[in-house]
Amino acid sequence: MGTLQIALAVAGGVVLAAVVAHSAWSSGRMAPRQPLRPHSDDEPEVGPAEEPGLRPDPFGPDQFPLPAPERKAGIDALIDVIAPIALEGLVSGEAALAASPATRRVGSKPFSIEGMNAVDGRWETPAAGQRYSAFQAAVQLANRSGALNEIEYSEFVVKAQAFCDAVNATPDFPEMLEEVARARELDIFASAHDAQLGFTLRARSAAWSPGYVQQHASRLGFVAGVLPGRMVMAASRDGMPPVLSLAFDSQAALAEDPTQAAIRSLTLALDVAQVERHEQPFERMCAAATALAQVMDGAVTDDNGQLLSVEAMADIGSEIEALYDTLEERELAAGSALARRLFS
């Protein structure tokens, strides 16, 4: 083989190697990012506070005082139509339960019955082993499905009357037109003060695998939700709605090989009226979005894909504070039992 042939063969080998290397490099860039492998016993472990771009949740339960537990949610004239039910004598809890309708809804609105306990005089949901001196039936005036209408009110009357007939009681229904008008007024207020916020985190370059998202989100306090592709940040009190939710493509979460599933965006969501103010949910939402964007090489945008600056987040925060004040003035404080019922 001549010198020229050898030179050409060497050059061809170099070009081929370069092509292979470039292909491997490009493939690595396009592959979804994977979670960091666990540390072995002989390697020093880096905690969340030491990893660039991640910090422990600054709004943990020790950072703010917990409010006093509220009483169990019950019928309230502020958001319910209430029909008092008079009895000729005491009625057992068993009889009340047997007389109650099978479904506790009237159209799209919750329907409920409470009894006055003959022993302590408190209103409660009828229970076996108790005796009641009076009842009241109620239907909710409004929720996110809209205001109570005439058809739903009529259905409410039918259901409540059937209960009364079964326990030999007499109902006193309020005027339908007045209650429907009150429902419309409440619905107008609720519609104007219902805030459900969403931040979108978009990958700048390489996509993310489900494990990669879950690993970084869990370090900020998110835990797996009930639905695939959903994580939640729990409230500081048991039984309360989550402070925040994080969602990504459910198909990616259910993929046979999650390491190859590519996620290019995820959503952080806050249902303002459902979360107590003391939880500082919007501040935590901004902190989580910023931390995840930094460590996962992402960009925080609104629903329309517009980048959200620190100044824009601050402006939204000011509006949220004003909303909290308005809800409290209306006795519908965010996260309260009444607010959770109305904004549902």
- So what's the pLDDT on residue 303? 85
Q: Is the pLDDT of residue 259 over 50?
A: yes
- So what's the pLDDT on residue 37? 67
- So what's the pLDDT on residue 35? 81
CA-based nearest residue to 78, from 323, 274, 333: 333
Helix or strand (DSSP H, E) at 139: strand 131-140
**Residue type (1 letter), 185:** E
Q: Is the pLDDT of residue 143 over 70?
A: yes
- So what's the pLDDT on residue 319? 97
pLDDT tens-place string over residues 194-234: 999 999 999 999 999 999 999 999 999 999 999 999 999 99
Q: Is the dihedral of CA 82, 88, 91, 96 positive or negative?
A: negative
Query: Are the C-beta atoms of residues 87 and 135 closer than 8 Å to each other?
Result: yes
Helix or strand (DSSP H, E) at 116: strand 109-117
Mean confidence (pLDDT) of the chain: 86
pLDDT tens-place string over residues 276-290: 999 999 999 999 999
Other beta carbons within 10 Å of 194: 14
Query: Are the C-beta atoms of residues 155 and 111 closer than 8 Å to each other?
Result: no
**Dist. CA 45–CA 151, nearest whole Å:** 64
- So what's the pLDDT on residue 205? 93
SS (H, E, C) 35-68: CCCCCCCCCCCCCHHHCCCCCCCCCCHHHCCCCC
55-64, 123-132, 165-174, 317-326: least confident range: 55-64
* pTM recorded for the entire structure: 0.80
pLDDT tens-place string over residues 28-49: 455 788 887 665 444 333 333 3
**Dist. CA 39–CA 44, nearest whole Å:** 7
Query: Are the C-beta atoms of residues 324 and 316 closer than 8 Å to each other?
Result: no
**Domains along the sequence of the chain with CATH:** 80-191 (3.30.1400.10), 193-342 (3.30.1400.10)
- So what's the pLDDT on residue 34? 80
The residues, any chain, with a CB within 8 Å of residue 263's CB and separated by 6 or more, are: 32, 203, 207, 208, 209, 210, 213, 248, 249, 252
**Dist. CA 225–CA 218, nearest whole Å:** 12
- So what's the pLDDT on residue 244? 98
| HSE-CB for 219 with a 13 A CA cutoff | 23
Q: Which residues pair with 144 in a beta bridge?
A: none
- So what's the pLDDT on residue 40? 43
Mean pLDDT of 229-258: 95
CA-based nearest residue to 245, from 183, 182, 288: 288
Other beta carbons within 10 Å of 325: 12
Mean pLDDT of 85-109: 96
Helix spans in 69-139 (H) = 93-99
Q: Is the pLDDT of residue 262 over 90?
A: yes
- So what's the pLDDT on residue 32? 82
The two tokens of residue 277 are 């103010």
- So what's the pLDDT on residue 226? 93
- So what's the pLDDT on residue 73? 55
Q: Is the pLDDT of residue 16 over 50?
A: no
- Looking at per-residue confidence, does 19 or 159 come out higher? 159
